Structure 1
């Protein structure tokens, strides 16, 4: 199996972005002033942010060579200019370009550590009172949680497209839901059926003989027989046979 290509760069601007699905098309600025059009599901990224992308090069019939991203990992900048762009992008509620400038000027390269571990120091910046400091701190923790969930899902080989749908449905309880019963997705998330949920469950190390898997398999077998095969009902032995074949037990 071919390894995905990997590219790194800074998001210059978005050509298209859907907040509902996470799908977007953007211009990526790479070293050597190279610019690349990227498309794919890349939620929670903003212009000015550095990203590492894994995917494949494709040829669009109208717009030419593009990079189709299958995984997207945000890279926290480690320089003053990058930090100002990152914080000023609107990703963290309570911080716009003006406060990003003030925060980085005050705390330098330590600004993210201050926000994360020493939020009481934020009030040293002119214009940041208790309320704004709390807003910034809460938004930062939310973004960390989102990042942790997306990293976990992508490390397990779950596509960014599916990871986006999972997070959109379950939010900060995503990991809890997947660890307890990933087959819920087949019933609760449009676009993720039993087979996809089963693949994800296997990647997460779920037991092939689990009650949750068997139950989901039974439900899928019945639903498929009615919707795709035109049956009004299934005999118990037929249902058992179809489920065993489906689950390969």
Structure 2
């Protein structure tokens, strides 16, 4: 449903969990039991979820389900939300002065809209230099404002594409930081790239990816994503690498879950694995031991430092202490490369 923020009742700064009141004109979408106030053309209700937008005068699109509790009654549990680009003058003022756009406060936002009206966004996108006519906007500040506006536009586009994944704004920002300006294009080409981001495992991404691109179960990009998923799961259990036969067996089970036996054949998995090593360079092989490239590089670095320490002449080392330091550095390297 489309709604507007009214007031925030609670927020957990640690995880972003928010409880807030919103109003909506979609009267048929809101059960009477959930209505806090009714003004005839719009009603107010309570919503809860992670990182809910709490910005005045902007339209917010939400998806979720009505959920009941003994203490709080019927409330809207939000799975996904995003800020829409407003069309009204007050909505544009609210958007410009929100946390989405840096460098513009409420007073300046109103001055901009008073000058350009509902064409404000068109001006910002196509004729940004016209904003220099607004008091307080220098060329340096204009660059800052336009950069911030473009980033908000990219985030809106990404949020729209990621709607089926129920992605929070914070996760969307994390995805944008990981993939850069090409995030939407890259994910449209291969939605399994999303598996590279912590919190988006193959099991979550797979059904939506197949539906969004109408992929066959034995599509190479799906098989490759499953292989990398198996290796990441192995790493979570403390295995920097897995034997190729184990990878094939585990990927076979994952890929054929919910499909007739042998929908995805072992030979196809081996072929996709070879491509990941030889062509895509995302995996490395040491005999039958298969690594994710980042893990292999971390292992090589740790080995190099261990050998260097052991070969250093005339020095006495506390090997256990040195090992802990090297392994800690390797873990940090892994975290940075993931």
Interval containing the TM-score (normalised by the shorter chain):
0.7 to 0.9
Q: Secondary structure of 1:65's match?
A: strand
Q: What do residues 48-83 of structure 1 show as CA deviations (whole Å, max 9, x unaligned)?
A: 311232321111343222112234343333333333
Whether the 8 Å contact between 1:54 and 1:69 is mirrored in structure 2 is yes
User: Scaled by the length of structure 2, what TM-score is found?
Assistant: 0.59
Looking at structure 1, the residues matched to 139 and 234 of structure 2 have their Cα atoms a distance apart, in angstroms, of 59
The residue number in structure 1 matching 2:166 is: 159
Summarize the Cα distance change of 1:211–1:130 in structure 2 as closer, same or farther, 3 Å threshold.
same
Summarize the Cα distance change of 1:101–1:195 in structure 2 as closer, same or farther, 3 Å threshold.
same
Superposed CA RMSD: 3.3
Looking at structure 2, the residues matched to 169 and 189 of structure 1 have their Cα atoms a distance apart, in angstroms, of 7
User: Scaled by the length of structure 1, what TM-score is found?
Assistant: 0.77
Larger Rg: 2
Report the count of equivalent residues: 236
Q: Secondary structure of 1:54's match?
A: strand
Q: What do residues 199-248 of structure 1 show as CA deviations (whole Å, max 9, x unaligned)?
A: 232133245334443233234446657978x9x97682x65444323212
- Unmatched 5+ stretches in structure 1: 1-5
- Unmatched 5+ stretches in structure 2: 26-38, 257-263, 265-338
Compute the displacement of 1:19 (Å): 8.0
Summarize the Cα distance change of 1:242–1:112 in structure 2 as closer, same or farther, 3 Å threshold.
closer
Looking at structure 2, the residues matched to 235 and 112 of structure 1 have their Cα atoms a distance apart, in angstroms, of 54
Q: What do residues 125-148 of structure 1 show as CA deviations (whole Å, max 9, x unaligned)?
A: 122121122222111111111111
The residue number in structure 2 matching 1:133 is: 142
| Equivalent residue runs for 1:70-219 within 5 Å | 70-154=79-163, 157-161=164-168, 165-171=171-177, 172-186=181-195, 188-205=196-213, 206=215, 208-219=217-228
The residue number in structure 1 matching 2:4 is: 10
The residue number in structure 2 matching 1:29 is: 23
Whether the 8 Å contact between 2:155 and 2:172 is mirrored in structure 1 is no
Whether the 8 Å contact between 1:22 and 1:164 is mirrored in structure 2 is no
Looking at structure 1, the residues matched to 235 and 202 of structure 2 have their Cα atoms a distance apart, in angstroms, of 15
Which has the higher relative contact order, 1 or 2, with Cα contacts under 8 A spaced 6 or more apart?
Answer: 1
Q: Secondary structure of 1:67's match?
A: strand
Structure 1 residue 51 and structure 2 residue 91: aligned?
no
Looking at structure 2, the residues matched to 112 and 17 of structure 1 have their Cα atoms a distance apart, in angstroms, of 31
